[in-house]
Chain A
Amino acid sequence: AQKITQTQPGMFVQEKEAVTLDCTYDTSDPSYGLFWYKQPSSGEMIFLIYQGSYDQQNATEGRYSLNFQKARKSANLVISASQLGDSAMYFCAMRINQAGTALIFGKGTTLSVSS
């Protein structure tokens, strides 16, 4: 069965430190994509980063990078130099290609950044 697992309900980090948010996935489809979204307290969903299953390099977008380990089926989000504005809920999601393509989400990790 297709599944996304985020095992950290909450994470705490100080400003300027790096933090890793864990995400593991399960799929038998050889072609898939992995996303990370940020949801601040205001409620909107903000797209952060995308990694395709055939992409050779790990995705990076500014302070965000995706540590993609295909054999371990993990796609962890690394935020470097945390800022107070990074405090939010973070969701990992997977696009699966069999039977028409769906996008499924994990339950999320709440990140709290303190000064």
Chain B
Amino acid sequence: NAGVTQTPKFRVLKTGQSMTLLCAQDMNHEYMYWYRQDPGMGLRLIHYSVGEGTTAKGEVPDGYNVSRLKKQNFLLGLESAAPSQTSVYFCASIKFRTGLNTEAFFGQGTRLTVV
């Protein structure tokens, strides 16, 4: 998935620290999503964006904030990390087309551990 890049790939935080995850796409997609993946839970939607300057809450938004100042970048912030936020985070970027031709790509994931 060369079109979607997440940074960093791994991070260990102490409880109470803050950090920002960056998702960058070069495909001019409007829709971008942040998910967390936990064992047995599948992927749960944290926040998403349907275009530059817009964001919306997903299923599990508490403890996270997002921004989409530029179309190609979608940032996920943790203001005060908690051990419950230990997870693998995925960013996704989608261009919906008519018919069966739809582009959907994920970043490679960020493994975050909060101690």
Residues of chain A touching chain B, judged by Cβ–Cβ distance below 8 Å, are: 6, 33, 35, 37, 43-47, 50-52, 55, 57, 59, 91, 93, 95, 99-108
Contacts and interface: CB of A to CB of B under 8 A. Distances in A.
A102 B92 contact: no
Contacts, number: 72
B108 interface: yes
B100 A52 contact: yes
Interface residues of B, number: 31
B99 A52 contact: yes
A105 B42 contact: yes
A105 B108 contact: no
Nearest to A59: B100
Interface stretch (B12-20, B33-41, B77-85): B33-41
Contacts of A104: 45, 59
Given A104-B59, A106-B42, A44 B100 contact: no
A51 B43 CA distance: 20
Contacts of A103: 31, 33, 45, 48, 92, 94
